Amino acid sequence: MYLHARSLVLLADARRDQGKLIGPLSAVHACQRALSLFTELDNPRRVAQTQLALAVGTEMNGDLHEAARRYQALASGERLSGRDRARSRLWIGTVLSKAGEHEYAARVMLEAVRELEDLGETEDWATAQQKLALACRGIGALDQAFTSSTSPAAAAPWKRRCSAFGSTPYTLTSCCRTKRPATMGCACSTRPPRRP
């Protein structure tokens, strides 16, 4: 049963890469079947990893709010490895950036960058730097975007720029597809944030 569930996860990965996200032969369907098996096997780590794969599918389907909610839950839990928790946090930033919230995206991505650096995950760290560069570009910080994509000390200029965020807690609001500092509330009323 375990090997069958692992095979379903690999099948889901292949179908996701082919763009087959919905329907009976989709990545999501294969993941849901794997999730059911891992749950039956009482394997919390594999359950969480499969939930992470489902969150990626949710994001690819365009449901940014739900994807961010799932990433947040996985990033703050203990079932995933440190690397997967950091990747979840990075993908929260990706969702925020897609929603046009580049400053908040950069703040979350910086947390992921630090975690990946501490873990020695150089490949994921490099990917995080590229995503951080895109967020910098989104707010018009082109010099930081360039250094983020080319320099090992990439985060340093951005860290100074983001120092105002400090360790302010952030929450996923229910009325917009973004995470904002809890002290600021939601700035979009009942509408999703405007894209720049």
Q: How far, in Å, CA of 194 to CA of 196, rounded?
A: 6
Instruction: Determine the pLDDT at residue 47.
Output: 96
**Within its chain, how far is the Cα of 80 from the centroid?**
14
Q: Give the residue among 53, 64, 42, 63 at the shortest CA–CA distance from 10.
A: 53
Q: How far, in Å, CA of 82 to CA of 79, rounded?
A: 9
pLDDT of 144 strictly over 60: no
Q: How far, in Å, CA of 7 to CA of 31, rounded?
A: 10
Exposure pattern of 28-53 as b/e (b: 16+ CB <10 Å)? Answer: bbbbebbbebbeeeebeebbbbbbbb
- Helix (H/G/I), strand (E/B), else coil: 175: coil
Whether the pTM exceeds 0.85: the reply is no
CA dihedral 127, 129, 131, 132 (to 10 degrees): 160
**Tens digit of each residue's pLDDT (9 = 90 or more) over 14-42:** 998 888 888 888 899 999 999 999 999 99
Instruction: Determine the pLDDT at residue 140.
Output: 67
